[in-house]
């Protein structure tokens, strides 16, 4: 039975069989098997942690991106709606408000001007050409 040569680990100070020491690139010196094992665990944990953080970061960025995209879509839809409303207002038949129940309406067909009564909802048609009274904006 040959006696094992013991050596002291320069990393952890533990004594281990000299033959089991390896030059470790992480510690940059000879390390005992215990250190190698600890180091492997430690390095793996650090790597896992970094990876977990990186993927969390990636997910966050992706979520931000999606939110930004959604914001843009909502904003665009809103702007389009506003534009549409504006256009409708501009294209709408306008009637000059006379009082709370009457407006001066101009027939879209013959340009005949007459008073439309809100309360009665009359006339339904232009007294001159019988063109139907359209929806209008009173202003
Ligand atoms: Zn050691
Ligand atoms: Zn008319």
How many other C-beta atoms lie within 10 A of the C-beta of residue 31?
24
Q: Which ligand is nearest to the CA of 12?
A: 1
Distance in Å, CA 15 to ligand 1 centroid: 8
Each residue of 96-113: pLDDT tens digit? 999 999 999 999 999 999
Place of tokens 């991106």: 65
Average model confidence (pLDDT) across the chain: 88
- Per the CB < 8 A criterion, the answer to whether 126 and 110 are in contact is yes
The rounded Å distance from CA 110 to ligand 1 centre is 103
Model confidence band, residue 65 (pLDDT cutoffs 50, 70, 90): confident
Structural domain includes residue 33:
no
23 located within any domain: no
Distance (angstroms) between ligand 1 centre and the Cα of 41 equals: 14
- Quote the tokens at residue 103: 């407006």
* pTM of this prediction exceeds 0.95: no
Flag whether pLDDT at 66 surpasses 70: yes
Q: How many folded domains does the chain comprise?
A: 1
- CA of 133 relative to ligand 2 center, distance in Å: 9
Domain span holding position 136? 92-139
Per-residue pLDDT of 14-57, as tens digits, reads 999 988 898 988 888 889 999 888 888 888 888 888 888 888 88
């Amino acid at each position: 039975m040959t006696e094992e040569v013991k050596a002291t680990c320069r990393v952890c100070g533990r004594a281990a069989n000299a033959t089991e020491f390896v030059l470790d690139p992480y510690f940059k010196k000879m390390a005992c098997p215990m250190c190698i094992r600890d180091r492997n665990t430690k390095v793996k944990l650090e790597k896992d942690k970094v990876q977990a953080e990186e993927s969390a970061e990636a997910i966050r960025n992706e979520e931000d991106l999606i939110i930004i995209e959604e914001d843009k879509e909502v904003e665009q839809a809103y702007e389009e709606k506003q534009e549409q409303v504006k256009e409708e207002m501009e294209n709408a038949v306008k009637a000059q408000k006379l009082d709370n129940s009457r407006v001066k309406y101009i027939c879209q067909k013959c340009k005949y001007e007459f008073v439309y009564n809100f309360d009665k909802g009359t006339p339904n048609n232009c007294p001159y050409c019988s063109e139907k009274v359209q929806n209008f904006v009173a202003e």
